[in-house]
Chain A
């Protein structure tokens, strides 16, 4: 199988697996217990905090461990809203193509009376920092913009957006779930106040993540109970998962340059290869893009049938078609960059991993070409387009 769905989740690295299994077996003490066996687990936990902090240029006490990216997004946004509320600031700036962990949290706040501005992400999937600046008002309490998009892979100019927020005195959160472990991030240099990350996107375990919150930012609990995580997140810590995350992150961070140098040419080879398919279009900017992301729309076909046939050929990928989401609408990300429903249904996301080879890339290209041509062969939409009834969109 060629696993090309690393944006959905990644395989755990050997380092993470061995760290996790070793700790499950040998270091099962509760970090809150005072005897030395418990304190050993506490040491592991605090070492993980140091390791994670170092990777993003934060201080250990600025790292809060969570159950993943969704929880970190929820807590960051709710916390900023509660801070803003106290001084009557109930306006939040975000973008139309955020992950649902962000958008649904914003919807919840909107029901409480917050006003939400969703910025245009333009056809290239890039938010303009000057538009962030223009959207900030006197009552804005938070700007939340994702570092890299999970579907189309576009990377934002986070440093410039962070500078705008700093200049305007507004908290800045970034959902960096797709970026951490893949891009070099420095929270201080990029003026990031709050950042969310998730272990399973960088070869760590599922159900573990972290929230970076610049010191001085008062977090609001989502989970009440014990005094773990400085009282900001109750529940006995997932020590093996957290330590495995740290192990995976250290390894991913150390390999960023090597991985990027390997992935970018292969990504671009696939982008060029699929570009030969007539009436297709790359989604998202070609340059400011995650090293492993390829996302295309093919006119006249539907994405789920494309995925099933690619699965038969041993390729695991994903699509933004409505049929793969269980809803009637295709991906909100594709709609946000201006793809109309008709073509958004025919989308394909390939998110390649470090183990990909050039041969894999060529096999992917030829397989996608073959399947698209086959499906177009009995698509009434394609027949009409070719016959000149209606005009091509792509």
Chain B
């Protein structure tokens, strides 16, 4: 049996929305290098819509795949909806994660929450 689902491997091998947004409206960074996972999310928001999102991740395969999937799930969505993204939704969209890797999906949720908070605080 493979370690990860096909979906996870696809997002790991071909991560969507990788990179930075220089003039981002909200930036969130969570995790720390000591634990081995850091995610950074950049949001571009226009008229209450997440028009663009990019990420950078230091971490394992499931951390990279979770960040990638999370960006796909909120891109083009209203801020209200992005705010409701759960780690469960990220993991489900990836066809599941091994139990001990669920924290990667939590990190993805938290990175988006942090970026949205940053956006709100700047408004």
Q: Report A's interface with B, CB cutoff 8 A.
A: 300-305, 308-309, 312, 321-324, 326, 328, 330, 341-342, 345, 378-383
Complex Cα distance, B12 from A378, in Å, reads 12
**In the complex, which of the residues B18, B34, B38, B101 has the most CB atoms of chain A within 10 Å of its own CB atom?**
B34
User: Chain A interface mostly helix, strand, loop or mixed?
Assistant: helix
C-alpha spacing A312/B100, complex, angstroms:
23
A342 touching B33, Cβ below 8 Å: yes
Q: Which residues of A contact B1 (CB under 8 A)?
A: none
Instruction: Determine whether the beta carbon of B37 is less than 8 Å from that of A302.
Output: yes
Q: Which of B53-61, B75-83, B115-123 contacts A (4 or more CB under 8 A)?
A: B53-61
Closest residue to A343 on the B side, CB-wise? B33
A380's partner among B34, B36, B38 (CB-CB below 8 A) is B38
**A341 contacts B38, CB within 8 Å?**
no
**Are A380 and B29 touching (Cβ within 8 A)?**
yes
Q: Which residues of A contact B12 (CB under 8 A)?
A: 305, 308
Q: Which of A308, A328, A380, A381 has the most CB of B within 10 A?
A: A380
Nearest CB of chain A from residue B3's CB, rounded to whole Å: 8
With CB as the reference atom, state the residue of chain A lying closest to B103.
Answer: A328
Taking CB atoms, residues of chain B closer than 8 Å to A380 are 29, 38-40, 56-58
Q: Are A301 and B35 in contact (CB under 8 A)?
A: no
- By the criterion CB–CB under 8 Å, are B100 and A379 in contact? no
A382-B60 CB under 8 A given contacts A326-B100, A328-B35? no
Instruction: Report yes or no: B13 in contact with A302, Cβ–Cβ below 8 A.
Output: no
| 24 residue pairs bridging A and B, Cβ less than 8 Å apart | A300-B58, A301-B58, A302-B36, A302-B63, A304-B60, A305-B60, A305-B63, A308-B9, A312-B13, A321-B60, A323-B36, A323-B59, A323-B61, A341-B35, A341-B36, A345-B33, A378-B15, A378-B57, A379-B38, A379-B58, A380-B40, A380-B56, A381-B33, A382-B58
Residue of A nearest to B18 (CB): A378
A345 to B34 Cα, complex, angstroms:
8
Quick check: is B48 within 8 A (CB to CB) of the other chain? no
Q: Which residues of B are at the interface with A, using a C-beta cutoff of 8 A?
A: 9, 12-13, 15, 18-20, 29, 33-40, 55-61, 63-64, 100-101
* Residues A342 and B34 in contact in the complex (CB < 8 Å), given A301-B58, A323-B60, A379-B58: yes
Q: How many angstroms from the CA of A379 to the CA of B38 in the assembled complex?
A: 8
Tell me, rounded to whole Å, the shortest Cβ–Cβ distance linking A394 to chain B: 13
Q: Which residue of A lies closest to B100 (CB)?
A: A326
User: Which partner residue on chain A sits nearest B59 by CB separation?
Assistant: A302
Q: Give every chain A residue within 8 A of B63 (Cβ-Cβ).
A: 302, 305
**Contact among B34, B64, B101 with A341 in the assembled complex (CB-CB below 8 Å):** B34
Interface centre among B29, B57, B60, B64 (most CB of A within 10 A): B60
Q: Report yes or no: B33 in contact with A378, Cβ–Cβ below 8 A.
A: no
Shortest distance between the CB of B67 and any CB in chain A (Å):
9
Task: Check A379 against B56 for contact (C-beta < 8 Å).
Answer: yes
Per the bound structure, the CA–CA distance linking A381 and B35 in Å amounts to 13
Q: Do B61 and A304 touch across chains, with their CB atoms under 8 A apart?
A: yes
Which residues of B are found within 8 Å of A303, using beta-carbon distances? 60
A379: chain B residues within 8 A (beta carbon): 38, 56-58
Question: Are A341 and B60 closer than 8 Å at their CB atoms?
Answer: no
Nearest-neighbor residue (CB-CB) of A340 within chain B: B34
Residues on the A chain within 8 Å of B59, using CB: 302, 305, 323
User: Which residue of the partner chain, among A322, A326, A382, A383, contacts B35 with CB atoms under 8 Å?
Assistant: A322
Q: How far is the CB of B68 from chain A (nearest CB, A)?
A: 10
In the complex, the answer to whether B56 meets A383 with C-beta atoms within 8 Å is: yes
| Contact status B60-A378, CB under 8 Å | no
Chain B residues whose CB sits within 8 angstroms of the CB of A345 once the complex forms: 33, 36
Residues of A within 8 A of B55 (CB): 378
The answer on a CB contact under 8 Å between A321 and B36 is: yes
